[in-house]
């Protein structure tokens, strides 16, 4: 099983960042790689078990299931049901931790998955930098423009 971990410090409170990312259907609002998203079967976007269906800007389609959501812990976990990436058993967690010094937050995004051995390095890099870090960078730009 491959493990990917990316972390960052965002110059905004955990409450403010969580308000932006909490909605499981909000990826197009804050992540630049996502073109559009919808929750299947008209379920609420914060209901554990709901499935989001979204298009990447490059045309790919991904379906993910919300596994856990905690407003208390500023965390959500999800699994990939369908993806063009060639991953299996993919489970990811996005977590925020308040940094009391300066009203910032520590953001962590991690994933575990299986894939073909020949693609481990490529997929680890693509997910860690091309998905997770790109998302964190977009959040940092958004909140720095609001200061």
pLDDT at 109: 98
Question: Could you write out the DSSP letters of every residue in 106-124?
Answer: EEEEEEEEE--GGGHHHHH
DSSP state of 86: -
pLDDT at 121: 95
Closest by CA to 113, choosing from 66, 80, 82, 77, is 80
Tokens of 7: 């972390």
pLDDT at 146: 74
Domain map (residue ranges) of the chain: 2-144
According to the CATH classification, is domain 2-144 in 3.30.530.20? yes
Contact 73, 56 (CB under 8 A): no
Tokens of 86: 């060639």
Report CA Rg, the chain. 15
pLDDT at 65: 98
pLDDT at 111: 98
Per-residue pLDDT of the chain (147 residues; tens, 9 = 90+): 999 999 999 999 999 999 999 999 999 999 999 999 999 999 999 999 999 999 999 989 999 999 999 999 999 999 999 999 999 999 999 999 999 888 899 999 999 999 999 999 999 999 999 999 999 999 999 998 876
pLDDT at 147: 67
Sheet holding 51-56, edge to edge: 2-10, 104-114, 88-99, 75-82, 61-70, 51-56, 34-39
pLDDT at 145: 83
Contact 52, 68 (CB under 8 A): no
């Amino acid at each position: 099983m491959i493990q990917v971990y990316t972390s960052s410090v965002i110059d905004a409170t955990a409450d403010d960042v969580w308000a932006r990312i909490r909605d499981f259907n909000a990826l197009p609002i804050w992540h630049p790689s996502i073109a559009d998203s919808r929750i299947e079967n008209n379920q609420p976007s914060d209901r554990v078990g709901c499935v989001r269906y979204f298009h990447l800007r490059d045309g790919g389609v991904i379906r993910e299931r919300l596994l856990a959501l905690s407003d208390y812990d500023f965390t959500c976990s999800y699994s990939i049901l369908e993806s063009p990436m060639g991953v299996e058993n993919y489970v990811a967690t996005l977590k925020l931790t308040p940094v009391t010094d300066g009203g910032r937050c520590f953001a962590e995004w991690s994933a575990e998955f299986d894939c073909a051995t020949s693609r481990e390095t490529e997929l680890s890099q693509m997910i860690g930098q091309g998905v997770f870090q790109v998302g964190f960078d977009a959040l940092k730009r958004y909140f720095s423009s609001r200061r």
